[in-house]
């Protein structure tokens, strides 16, 4: 066997190489030399996947998981969270439930490899455990409901939805606003200080022409955008910033979710959540909404106008000041114009500078 190994090496690399190989490559069946601290050269580097020829061909199925949940809900509001289940075997029976609740049975279909469903959202603060059973196997799922008045346990976004540091979905529980509550709040807030923490600017920087309205502001601005849910990104960015009450909070929703078709009217709930958190700490900052402009895109103008009206109405109702980008910069056909028929997404040049100046004035008040 030793001679066979030597012959193969000579045929491939020549006589000189065969001498080297004879010293470095042991014959089959011989013991490998052990060198302390040394890694054998024949091992794959870390992170390199194995050869497809060694793979078993077994399909890797995702575990059941929550996929969608509201970022902010109101006390007494009945809402759902969505879950996704793999269909490993068609026609198999299963169930899902919250701990100590009744089973909700289902049967896996035969025409797909994944299904989704809805589970009623818990209405009490705490970490809630759910269970999924398919055939003889069970999985545990968790979802966290947090009081919006307490520190927000938001750490990141998962597919556009907020989770805590352990990756558990988080829902903030807030108080629904109505006229009577607003009258009481406006009476009480008169005696609250403004807030002594650093001013905060979060959201979409409205970047255009290589610059943004956040550039050179007299404060550290926090970019918080997400192509699915920019409002969720703003909540996550604000979570560590609202441990003390800032002097000023400015939120820039931008238009990214409008461009991607992922905008929902629940965006306005950010306004109430921020105010509730600050009020619980015994102070009220200057709250400012940077109202996004109407895009130049003809097909988006109607929806953009509806969105602006909703945000402006909610902001005024809850005591937020408004900096209207459209009013300051002018219509998109002039504020966003690069050349004939060429436009940017947001105002640029002098129009952008005017918006930045308005933010600067608000931050130095």
- Give the angle subtended at the CA of 237 by the CAs of 210 and 280, to the nearest 5°: 140
Are 225 and 265 contained in the same domain?
Answer: yes
Residue 111 inside a domain? The answer is yes
What are the structure tokens assigned to 165, written together? 């540091």
Are 128 and 203 contained in the same domain?
Answer: no
- Where b means 16+ CB within 10 Å and e means fewer, 158-179 reads eebbbbbeeebbbbbbbeebee
Per-residue pLDDT of the chain (365 residues; tens, 9 = 90+): 433 333 333 333 333 333 333 333 334 344 444 444 444 555 666 767 666 666 666 777 788 999 999 999 999 999 999 999 988 888 899 999 999 888 899 998 888 888 899 999 999 999 999 999 998 899 999 999 999 999 999 999 999 999 999 999 999 999 987 766 666 666 566 667 888 889 999 999 999 989 999 999 999 999 999 988 999 999 999 999 999 999 999 999 999 999 999 999 999 999 999 999 998 998 889 999 999 999 999 999 999 999 999 999 999 999 899 999 999 999 999 999 999 989 999 999 999 999 999 999 999 98
Sheet holding 221-223, edge to edge: 221-223, 200-203, 248-252, 286-291, 321-324
Domain that holds residue 142: 65-174
Are 223 and 346 contained in the same domain?
Answer: yes
What is residue 15's predicted lDDT score, i.e. its pLDDT?
A: 35
Which of 146, 174, 202 represents a domain boundary (last residue)?
174
Residue 217 inside a domain? The answer is yes
What are the structure tokens assigned to 164, written together? 């805590």
What is residue 136's predicted lDDT score, i.e. its pLDDT?
A: 86
The predicted model scores a pTM of 0.81
- SS3 of the chain: helix, strand, coil, percent, to 5: 30, 25, 40
How many domains in the chain? 2
What is residue 195's predicted lDDT score, i.e. its pLDDT?
A: 83
Q: Which secondary structure element, helix H or strand E, spans residue 333, and what is its range?
A: helix 332-335
Residue 308 CB contacts under 8 Å (≥ 6 apart), including other chains: 291, 292, 294, 326
Which of 174, 195, 215 represents a domain boundary (last residue)?
174
What is residue 291's predicted lDDT score, i.e. its pLDDT?
A: 98
What are the structure tokens assigned to 152, written together? 């927000």
Which of 113, 139, 174 represents a domain boundary (last residue)?
174
Q: Which secondary structure element, helix H or strand E, spans residue 138, and what is its range?
A: strand 137-147
Angstrom distances, CA of residue 164 to CA of 120, 168, 236, 335: 20, 5, 9, 40
Q: What would the DSSP string read from start to end of 243-259?
A: GS-BSEEEEE--SHHHH
Residue 201 inside a domain? The answer is yes
Torsions phi, psi of 274, nearest 5?
-65, -45
Domain harbouring 275, CATH code? 3.40.50.1110
Are 165 and 235 contained in the same domain?
Answer: no
Q: Using alpha carbons, select from 233, 232, 211 the residue that is nearest to residue 222.
A: 233
Going by the DSSP 8-state scheme, the letter that residue 198 receives in this structure is P
What is residue 259's predicted lDDT score, i.e. its pLDDT?
A: 93
Are 212 and 142 contained in the same domain?
Answer: no
Residue 352 inside a domain? The answer is yes
Return the bridge partners of 250, or none: 201, 288
What is residue 191's predicted lDDT score, i.e. its pLDDT?
A: 67
Residue 261 CB contacts under 8 Å (≥ 6 apart), including other chains: none
How many CA atoms lie within 13 Å of 152's alpha carbon, on the beta-carbon side? Answer: 32
Domain harbouring 79, CATH code? 2.60.40.10
What's the pLDDT tens digit per position in 210-269?
Answer: 999 999 999 999 999 998 899 999 999 999 999 999 999 999 999 999 999 999 999 999
Are 265 and 127 contained in the same domain?
Answer: no
- Give the angle subtended at the CA of 259 by the CAs of 253 and 261, to the nearest 5°: 100
Residue 136 inside a domain? The answer is yes
Q: Using alpha carbons, select from 358, 356, 359, 357 the residue that is nearest to residue 346.
A: 356
Are 119 and 226 contained in the same domain?
Answer: no
Are 334 and 262 contained in the same domain?
Answer: yes
Are 257 and 148 contained in the same domain?
Answer: no
What is residue 112's predicted lDDT score, i.e. its pLDDT?
A: 85
- Where b means 16+ CB within 10 Å and e means fewer, 262-295 reads ebeeebbbbbbbbbbbbbebebbbbbbbbbbbbb
Instruction: Yes or no: say if 253 and 323 are a contact pair by the CB < 8 Å rule.
Output: no
Measured between alpha carbons, how far is 181 from 279 in angstroms, rounded to an integer?
13
What is residue 194's predicted lDDT score, i.e. its pLDDT?
A: 82
What is residue 32's predicted lDDT score, i.e. its pLDDT?
A: 46
What are the structure tokens assigned to 116, written together? 């989704």
How big is the chain, counted in residues? 365
Angstrom distances, CA of residue 337 to CA of 301, 323, 343, 344: 17, 21, 5, 7
What is residue 181's predicted lDDT score, i.e. its pLDDT?
A: 67
Helix (H, G, I), strand (E, B) or coil at 66: strand
What is residue 101's predicted lDDT score, i.e. its pLDDT?
A: 87
Residue 306 inside a domain? The answer is yes
Are 194 and 145 contained in the same domain?
Answer: no
Residue 31 inside a domain? The answer is no
């Amino acid at each position: 066997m030793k001679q066979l190994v030597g012959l193969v090496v000579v045929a491939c690399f020549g006589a000189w190489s065969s001498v080297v190989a004879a010293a470095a490559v042991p014959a089959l069946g011989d013991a490998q030399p052990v060198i302390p601290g040394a890694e054998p050269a024949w091992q794959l580097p870390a992170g390199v996947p194995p050869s497809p020829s060694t793979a078993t061909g077994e399909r890797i199925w995702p575990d059941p998981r929550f996929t969608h949940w509201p970022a902010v809900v109101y006390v007494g509001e009945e809402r759902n969270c969505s879950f996704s289940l793999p269909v490993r075997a068609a026609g198999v029976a299963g169930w899902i439930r919250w701990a100590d609740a009744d089973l909700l049975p289902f049967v896996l279909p035969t025409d797909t490899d994944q299904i989704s469903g809805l589970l009623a959202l818990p209405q009490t603060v705490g970490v809630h455990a759910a269970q999924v059973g398919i055939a003889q196997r069970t999985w545990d799922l968790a979802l966290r409901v947090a009081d919006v008045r307490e520190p927000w346990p938001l750490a990141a976004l998962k597919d556009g939805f907020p989770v805590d540091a352990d990756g558990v979905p988080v829902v903030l529980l807030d108080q629904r606003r109505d006229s009577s509550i607003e009258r009481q709040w406006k009476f009480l807030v008169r005696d609250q200080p403004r807030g002594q923490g650093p001013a905060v600017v979060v959201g979409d920087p409205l970047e255009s022409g290589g610059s943004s309205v956040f550039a050179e502001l007299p404060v550290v601005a926090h970019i918080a955008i997400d192509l699915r849910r920019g409002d969720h990104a703003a909540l996550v960015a604000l979570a560590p910033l609202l441990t003390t009450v800032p002097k000023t909070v400015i939120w820039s929703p931008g238009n990214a979710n409008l461009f991607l078709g992922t905008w929902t009217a629940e965006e306005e709930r950010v306004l109430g959540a921020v105010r509730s958190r600050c009020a619980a700490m015994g102070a009220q900052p200057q709250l400012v909404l940077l109202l996004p402009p109407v895009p130049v895109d003809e097909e988006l103008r109607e929806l953009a106008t509806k969105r602006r009206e909703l945000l402006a109405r909610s902001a005024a109702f809850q005591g937020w000041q408004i900096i209207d980008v459209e009013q300051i910069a002018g219509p998109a056909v002039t504020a966003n114009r690069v050349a004939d028929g060429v436009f940017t997404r947001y105002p640029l040049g002098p129009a952008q500078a005017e918006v930045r100046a308005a933010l600067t004035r608000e931050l130095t008040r």
